[in-house]
Structure 1
Amino acid sequence: MKKYIAYAIASGLLLAGGWPSHGFPLLLFFGFVPLMLAEHQITQRAQYKKKWMKVFGLSYLTFVIWNAIVIWWLHFAQQVDANGEFQNSWVSYIGPVLANSLLMSICFQLYHFVKKKAGNLYGLIFLPAVWMSFEKMHLNWELAWPWFNLGNGFAKFYEWVQWYEFTGTFGGTLWIWLVNIIAFYYITAYINKKDFKYVNKLGMYVIPMIVVPIGISYIMYVTHEEKGEPLHALVVQPNLDPYTEKYEKDGLEIYDDIRRLAIQYIKPETQFVVAPETAIPGSSSLIFDNMYNDLIIQDIREWTGQKKDLNFVTGASVMRIYPSPTLASETASVMRDGITWYDSFNSALQLNSTDSISIYHKSKLVVGVENFPYRSILMPIIGEFMLNFGGTTKTLGIQPNRSVFNNKTNAASVAPIICYESIFGDYVTEYVREGANVLFTMTNDSWWGYTDGHRQLLLYGNLRAIENRRAIVRSANSGVSAFVNQRGDIMKSIPYGEQGALNGTVLMNSELTFYSKYGDYLARIALLIMGIILAYTFAQNLLYKKNVKKIKK
């Protein structure tokens, strides 16, 4: 078993070593091979009992190593201890590592079951299908955590995957699995037959499978022409500590700093000023039904009116009050008076001097921070326990449909994407299908300091530019604020940890890519294949058991 443990460790290290922001994605094409070899050899050994337990244990070891290395930065989330001092939150790190590794191991265990019961061919077809189905689930259920979706692995080497405009990140997932399976097949053949021709075939098939898609992508990258009319924007980066300033500092003081930066750097051609997630009002909330009377909103409309074609897009904390419990939503909470119900929203606003206020409520929420998953089931069990970072300990309100911000002064149709939402590919296409010709990302990803956390989110989000051929204007609380073109290039940026503002120009493209039209169609096909093979496998298993019973009789 020592050899197989070494295989499992090797897989974990290869997968982690291939991951952004510091990894080299070529390793991902071989990351699963050692684990697959361990599973195959254990299955072939007659002397091993309870093989499924050994396979499960090895796969769990692989995935714990991969998860633990890639999201090491999560423990930098701060929680207040009994003495009122900030301490690193190891719960917020260990929990996702163990839980996500378990889900990955279940997928691999299903592959082991299908391969054992239905045969190697069905198992190898089933493996990418079940993994892609798992990734799709992680994009849609209340415990959504698509951080490890394999297609994200090329985020730093985005020149390799310009064809994501046709496939989305699931094309990258399928690519990784196909190469791993071919590599596993020929390595296994060589081990079994000791014939060097299988090594030659390994190179003959694997090298083109890697090189050809990369070559096609580079051609697409070099020949791509940016489309659309220019849009001139100014991004503001206030650089507030999320623990000691952003939610503790007076909201008017925070707004004054943003306003000062905006007015200082605005140019005559500037059409949009973009501020980060929950930039206003800081330590309090705007009241949804009284927004036009809010002093900050009135001030924004006044100074944007001094330049008639200027729009201000910002993140905001918004509250909606319900006059009676019967009108409250499912996510509403009751105030301390025990009478008044309210919803809190992490929202985006578009303001100018003439149009009505446009508003969008963030709807892909961070698990355990903004969203209490499966609240009706879990709350009676664990009570009000939530992770103490991200700005709330309640489930935020959401909205069912995407909102696009339009205005009367220019042709921009803005997709207001808030932080975590930027890594949900099919979700972003909903904005684009609603007419968005440019993506604005407002984020506050400084909870983990100067670590891979904010870098990974930036790189993942830039894949949306390729998938939809939409430029991105990104404003972050502490960085990185940036302008990203339709190829995924960061054209200009403000580094992490600096306060400032940056002017930039992007193009507004209205053409729909294949992926924009059809979304995660590869995942839907994978789900169908997984279902068919599982049904076939269970049917075969039942028939086998019936035949065994007949023989015994």
Structure 2
Amino acid sequence: MFRYILLAILSGLLLAFGWPSKGFPLILFVGFVPLLFIENKIAQQVDTKRKGLKLFGLSYLAFFIWNAIGIWWLHYAQELNSDGQWQNSWTAYLFPVFANSLLMSLVFQLYHWVKSKAGNFYGIPFFPVIWMSFEKFHLNWEMTWPWFNLGNGFANFPKWVQWYEFTGTFGGTLWILVGNLIIFYYLYGFLNLKEKKFRNKLILFTVLWIGIPIGISYWIYNSYEEKGEEITAMVLQPELNPYTEKYNKSSFEIVNELIQMTHQNMQPKVDFVVAPETAFPGSGPGLNIDKLEADYLLQQFQSNFIRYPEMTFVSGVELMRFYPYEKFATKTASRFGNTDMLYDVTNSAIQLNQKDSIQYYHKSKLVVGVEHFPYMSILKPILGDLMMNFGGTVRTHLTQEQRTVFKNSFNNAVVAPIICYESIYGDFTTGYVRNGANILFIMTNDSWWGDSDGHRELLLFGNLRAIENRRDIVRSANSGISGFINQKGEITSSLAYEKQGALIGKAQLNNELTFYSKHGDYLARIALLIAGILIGYTVAMQILNWQKKKNKI
């Protein structure tokens, strides 16, 4: 048993050390191998009782180590203690670690069950398809947390995965999982039979499986030519501490700082100025969605930017919608103070200029426990308001079904206003592109976790969105890292973390749709279909075997 524990620890460490931003992704191709050895050995033990429980505990240990190391930075989130002082939040860190490790262990347990009941012929291919199905599920349910989807592991090596324009990150997940199975199979054969042919095939097939896709990727990288009309954008990085400044400064002070930063850095022919997520209003209520044209803060932008008649301002903003009667309110609405009026809060993006009407979009992939209370009708009676409150609210924000894009009268840019957490979601991002977006703007506030891997990893995930859709990215972050990413997924310029200022760069407007932009997560949908068939087959075989035993009795 001690040997199994060591193998589980090894598996967790390998997966963690292969993860961005500091990990090396080649390690991911062996990350599951120790776990596969454990599963195979336990499955072969005829007299061992509670094999499933033993495997569950060992796999949980491995996945716990991976999760615990991979998102260590989450504990830097701050919460107020009983003395009104800011302190690190271990709740924000431990809950996703325990919960995600549990889900991963259940998936591995299901793989073990199918393999044990249906045999290796069906069980081995079940491993990649059930894991991909789990990742797809994790992208879409109310407690969504796709940070550890395996295809994200190559975010720091965009030259290796240029073929994501055809497969999306699920191509990377499949690549890693099948690679682990190849290495496990031939390594197992060599260790048990001591035959050189297994060693030679292990080396040959591993090199080919990993090397060929990388080679193809470099060929795509070198042959791809960036496309589209060129625009110039300025990204603002106000560098407001979200705990001590952002929600304590007055709205007028914050808006004035954004305006002054724009004036100080303006150059001829800047088409866009981009500000970060919820750049304003800061403290106090959000802007009234139904009265934007008359809003005083927006009028300040309009009047101060009149000297730039063809410049368009795009920013993150907090908005509110009020409902005078309860029958008009949504399920996410809350009561406004002691009044009978209900209201919704949105984390939104807004576009304005000197000619067009104001456009807005509501963030629709929300951070669980911060912007969204999952399964509220079930969990709220149990947990109450036990949610993280990072200067915002402890309610569920209002979202929208469709991906709105921003157009303007001065150039051909069609902007995808992606807000923070949304940039992790590949298929979700294609919704903007299919609606006409030829450039991606990412507005984010990653300052909640300080100068840690959190903001760096989210930046790197943007590389993958650029490749998948072959779209340039203009990124504005509250405290950084702001910058520009080209259509090959390369960060071409950036503004360092915790540096206040602005950065001006060029970006291109590509109107062509990639295969992935058109079809989204088709690999995951195929995996779901195959997983369903294999589970159905396994259940049917179990029922038939049970009936045979019953008839014999």
Same fold (TM over 0.5): yes
Alpha-carbon distance between aligned partners in 2 of 1:388 and 1:311, rounded to the nearest angstrom: 32
The percent of aligned pairs where both chains have the same amino acid is: 59
* Alignment check: 8 A CA contact 1:168 1:519 kept: yes
Alignment match, 1:467? 468
Alignment match, 1:239? 239
Alignment match, 1:93? 93
Cα distance change, pair 399–375 in 1 and its aligned pair in 2 (3 A): same
How far residue 303 of structure 1 moved from its aligned partner, in angstroms, is 2.7
* Alignment check: 8 A CA contact 1:78 1:388 kept: no
Alignment match, 1:348? 349
Deviations along 1:373-396, one digit per CA (max 9) or x if unpaired, are 011221222222211226221110
Alignment match, 2:543? 542
1:396 and 2:402 correspond: no
Alignment match, 2:221? 221
Alignment match, 1:68? 68
Alignment match, 1:383? 384
* Alignment check: 8 A CA contact 2:259 2:304 kept: no
Alpha-carbon distance between aligned partners in 2 of 1:390 and 1:459, rounded to the nearest angstrom: 25
How far residue 338 of structure 1 moved from its aligned partner, in angstroms, is 4.0
Alpha-carbon distance between aligned partners in 1 of 2:391 and 2:155, rounded to the nearest angstrom: 24
Alignment match, 1:455? 456
Alpha-carbon distance between aligned partners in 2 of 1:247 and 1:308, rounded to the nearest angstrom: 31
Any residues of structure 2 matched to 1:22-101 within 5 Å, and which? 22-101=22-101
How far residue 192 of structure 1 moved from its aligned partner, in angstroms, is 2.9
Alignment match, 2:306? 305
Q: Which amino acid aligns with 2:413?
A: A
* Alignment check: 8 A CA contact 2:485 2:492 kept: yes
- Residues 502-511 or 303-312, more deviating: 303-312
Alpha-carbon distance between aligned partners in 2 of 1:462 and 1:373, rounded to the nearest angstrom: 29
1:198 and 2:206 correspond: no
Q: Which amino acid aligns with 1:360?
A: Y
- Residues 498-507 or 293-302, more deviating: 293-302
Q: Which amino acid aligns with 1:400?
A: E
Secondary structure, in 3 states, of the residue corresponding to 1:35? helix
TM-score by length of structure 1 reads 0.99
Alpha-carbon distance between aligned partners in 2 of 1:28 and 1:395, rounded to the nearest angstrom: 36
How far residue 451 of structure 1 moved from its aligned partner, in angstroms, is 0.3
Q: Which amino acid aligns with 2:146?
A: P
Secondary structure, in 3 states, of the residue corresponding to 2:449? coil
Alpha-carbon distance between aligned partners in 2 of 1:104 and 1:389, rounded to the nearest angstrom: 28
Alignment match, 1:171? 171
Alignment match, 2:416? 415
* Alignment check: 8 A CA contact 1:370 1:390 kept: no
Any residues of structure 2 matched to 1:206-285 within 5 Å, and which? 206-284=206-284, 285=286
Q: Which amino acid aligns with 2:504?
A: N
Alignment match, 1:478? 479
* Alignment check: 8 A CA contact 1:252 1:282 kept: no
Q: Which runs of 4+ in 1 moved over 3 A?
A: none
Alignment match, 1:105? 105
1:115 and 2:115 correspond: yes
Any residues of structure 2 matched to 1:173-188 within 5 Å, and which? 173-188=173-188
Q: Which amino acid aligns with 1:200?
A: N
Any residues of structure 2 matched to 1:428-507 within 5 Å, and which? 428-507=429-508
1:525 and 2:526 correspond: yes
User: Alpha carbon RMSD of aligned pairs, Å?
Assistant: 0.9
Q: Which amino acid aligns with 1:511?
A: E
Alpha-carbon distance between aligned partners in 1 of 2:393 and 2:146, rounded to the nearest angstrom: 21
Alignment match, 1:7? 7
How far residue 46 of structure 1 moved from its aligned partner, in angstroms, is 2.1
Alpha-carbon distance between aligned partners in 1 of 2:439 and 2:545, rounded to the nearest angstrom: 57
Alignment match, 1:325? 326
Alignment match, 1:293? 294
Alpha-carbon distance between aligned partners in 1 of 2:8 and 2:384, rounded to the nearest angstrom: 37
Deviations along 1:454-497, one digit per CA (max 9) or x if unpaired, are 00100012210000000000000000000110001111110000
1:146 and 2:164 correspond: no
Cα distance change, pair 390–215 in 1 and its aligned pair in 2 (3 A): farther
Secondary structure, in 3 states, of the residue corresponding to 1:239? coil
Alignment match, 1:314? 315
Q: Which amino acid aligns with 2:73?
A: W
Alpha-carbon distance between aligned partners in 2 of 1:76 and 1:509, rounded to the nearest angstrom: 38
Alpha-carbon distance between aligned partners in 1 of 2:408 and 2:269, rounded to the nearest angstrom: 16
TM-score by length of structure 2 reads 0.99
Q: Which structure 2 residue ranges, 5 or more long, are not aligned?
A: none
* Alignment check: 8 A CA contact 1:304 1:311 kept: no
Deviations along 1:420-448, one digit per CA (max 9) or x if unpaired, are 00000000000000000000000001100
Q: Which amino acid aligns with 1:478?
A: S
Deviations along 1:13-69, one digit per CA (max 9) or x if unpaired, are 000000000000000001000000011011112232110011101100000000000
Q: Which amino acid aligns with 1:33?
A: V
Alpha-carbon distance between aligned partners in 1 of 2:187 and 2:123, rounded to the nearest angstrom: 17
Secondary structure, in 3 states, of the residue corresponding to 1:147? helix
* Alignment check: 8 A CA contact 2:243 2:391 kept: no
Q: Which amino acid aligns with 1:165?
A: E
Alpha-carbon distance between aligned partners in 2 of 1:304 and 1:175, rounded to the nearest angstrom: 49
Alpha-carbon distance between aligned partners in 2 of 1:376 and 1:351, rounded to the nearest angstrom: 38
How far residue 514 of structure 1 moved from its aligned partner, in angstroms, is 0.1
Alignment match, 1:136? 136
